[in-house]
Amino acid sequence: MKHLITLIFFIFSFAGISQTLKDSVKVIYTNYYELLKTKEKLDTLKIKVDNFEELMTSNNKIIKELSKAELFNLEQQLKQRRKKIINTTEFVFAANASLNAIKQLDATSDYMTQISSLNNPDNTDLGFSLSDEISSLVEQKIIKGNNKINGVKNSKFLLFVDNIIKSPVVQTLSSAVPVVSSIKSVVDLVMGNALEGKDISIDDVVELKKSLKVYLDHYEGLAKAQIEFDQNLNNLDIRKEALILLLTQYTVERANTLNPSIRIDSNTQVSLTEFINTNYTETKVQHLVDEIISANPENFNLHLTNNKLLYPNYALNQAKFIRDEIEGLAKEYSSILSNYQYNLEKVLRNSKTIGDPIKIDSKISDLKSKLEEVKKSFADNLNLFKLNTTFKTLSEY
């Protein structure tokens, strides 16, 4: 609980997070804690046992007085309790696997690689090479067949231009921005030369800037789409980490009820997957439950009041909340990918005037195909069918 409160404080005090994001994370925690308010307090369910032998004697007396129908009912209740305790491990396993799939959404897939390659100045997938186009424009608008520009050989001048385009000085967060920076650097170079001599006029610079605008628009469009995509993913990452923390808390609580010595040390870096594999597998939980029951197999009433075999009603509501949040998070990831594709297509279609329309349509089609592969792989790893199946099994009475 201490770590949960710490994370909540961090989320709402972090200045860089948008109001929308803070509101969405707030909704998660508000809903979750409203759910917990309705639960029966675990302490009120626990039996305070000072004398175990006395309790055993009392239970045995009660059992002798019960009818066969009442005994059958208690036996069925215990079977159902055992089933829920054991089935919870499968739900936790499936939920953790789904969250791991979300964590591992591969940004280095073929889809992302192809998008990244569009920012390479030498890339010709769209029917033009930025480095070639700019060199050609500089020759047409600035050099105009002259051997020298303000005393500098035109070959040397073009070499500078080529170097600026292929090796921009400014590196920023977006893979497209360095290209935008390099285009602007070429303009700065030309303007600097215009000020130092008479070979380049202001009109020449204006014409060059007009000709370069379509390329600036293209690469800035790619940059904007990339930045929006990264920001949306970062926002979901915060929700994802919050959900992982909730699932961890849920898992530890259920494991700790059965075995009070089980905890996650806050000083260690144990992942939820490691904790599950070490402490909360179906086999281990079933062994612990059956070990407790087998010690006195006919004393159903005793087991139903055993602290270690408690299964509060709110645990099922917690599981539903976690399942619903995982489904919602997965849908948002898919929506972000689709929106990214839409923005990219818009940029590429607007750039048909500077590239080859046929190649651009082919690239759009290729990106769509790659995106579908990403989504299919994501859905396979997410395996919401398994998550929903385990929750359905857990919910059965």
Running DSSP on this structure, what letter comes out for residue 40? P
pLDDT reported for residue 29:
56
Average pLDDT in the chain:
77
Q: Rounded to an integer, what distance in angstroms lies between the CA atom of residue 262 and that of residue 93?
A: 17
**Residue 22 contacts residue 12 (beta carbons within 8 Å):** yes
Strand partners, 152: 149
Structure tokens at 87: 């089935």
Rounded (10°) CA dihedral 332, 336, 337, 341: 150
Candidates 129, 180, 136, 128; CA nearest to 158 is 136
Report d(CA 360, CA 42) in Å as an integer.
62
Tens-digit pLDDT profile for residues 180-194: 677 777 777 776 666
Cα(260)–Cα(254) distance, integer angstroms: 10
Q: What is the pLDDT of residue 21?
A: 46
Give the pLDDT confidence score for residue 8 in this predicted structure. Answer: 44
Write out residues in the chain with pLDDT < 50, as ranges: 1-22, 38-53, 55-56, 63, 168-176
Residue 206 is predicted with a pLDDT of 75
Please choose, from the candidates 384, 313, 328, the residue with its C-alpha nearest in 3D space to the C-alpha of residue 95.
384
What pLDDT score does 43 carry? 35
d(CA 235, CA 214): 32
Nearest to 388 by CA among 97, 130, 105: 97
What's the pLDDT at 121?
A: 72
Asked if 186 and 164 count as a contact pair (C-beta separation under 8 A), the reply is: yes
pLDDT of residue 98: 93
The encoded tokens of residue 39 equal: 């639960």
